[in-house]
Amino acid sequence: MDTAYVYDPVYLEHDFPGHPENANRLRRILSTLKAEGMLARLRLLEPRPATVEELQRVHTSAHVGRVQRVAEAGGGFLDPDTYATPGSFDAALMAAGGVIRAVEAVLAGDVANGFALVRPPGHHATATRAMGFCLFNNVAVAAKAALAAGQVERIFITDFDVHHGNGTQDTFAADPAVFYFSTHQYPHYPGSGHWSETGTGAGTGTVLNAPLPAYVGDKGYARIFAELVWPLAERFHPDLLLVSAGYDAHWSDPLAQMNLSLAGYAWLQREIVALARALCRGRVVFALEGGYELDVLAYGVLNGFYAMLGEDTLVDPRGPSPHPERPIDDLVAHLKEAHGLD
């Protein structure tokens, strides 16, 4: 079966030149995929807008209405970091709907897996608030849609953006049907994601936060996956994997201070694909989140497609980090104890 990508030009209508999260991010991804011959190997899935009902499984009607009103009034800032333009509401509807479209295609068996190249990003958006460059929580909306349709019973969300996906965690912290896992720089924006946050109520134990200090890199991330993610995912045994794919943990990204290389990112993406193959018949959908060094972003996504195609090809023009890597022994010990792992 094919590997798919979701894209529509409407995603470029959400744009504020000079802002870190602007349309050039997606333009660079697409131009690189084309230049490397990748687009010709993929199946295009055209998105459709998320419905009001689908959005309101995650967001309040007041929040949805505010985003629409600001956009229709000509745009403005929804918080100090998060803008809307006249085209942002339509782009945001199509971003959430684009991830739903990819999930539907994977679950129907039309494609093997897929990557939703959508904007604006989503994992910071909460039920009531746009924040952190995010308007609607694309991955959360798609997860809720799949569960509501009875297509799956358990979903495992991996978030490797350098910032904690507070909105996604808030949505599912008490939901035993969704496991949320995040690696993120800590303390860093938005300030949430301590290792002791493991879920609430019926969802206790279904949140794994790996709050990493600055300058953790390839070895530290690999250790988190080997010693925590694999055993916890095997314990949870999901029917679908969703990925909030942010490439801002790279050592050259301007918005954070982590040490991942493109080779490290490629390894993580291959591990996620392997996890999907081992646990849920390969059913995995990636959705674009952050990443603000444009070449790194583009090659990170390219390497993600190689992983989904089952290939070990790696493109890494930046090479390894020049900085020494911080150890994470104490953090791993805390996480194992918190989640009942030996």
**Positions marked catalytic:** 124
The first and second tokens of residue 260, run together, are 């991942």
Contact 247, 290 (CB under 8 A): yes
- Cα separation, 230 vs 264, in Å, equals 17
Neighbour count for residue 311 (Cβ, 10 Å): 11
Q: In Å, how far are 175, 228, 287, 316 from 221, measured between CA atoms?
A: 26, 10, 20, 18
Terminal CA-CA length for the chain: 39
- Cα separation, 221 vs 217, in Å, equals 6
- Cα separation, 297 vs 304, in Å, equals 11
Contact 159, 246 (CB under 8 A): yes
DSSP H or E stretch at residue 76: strand 76-79
Cis ω before 187 (30° cut-off from 0): yes
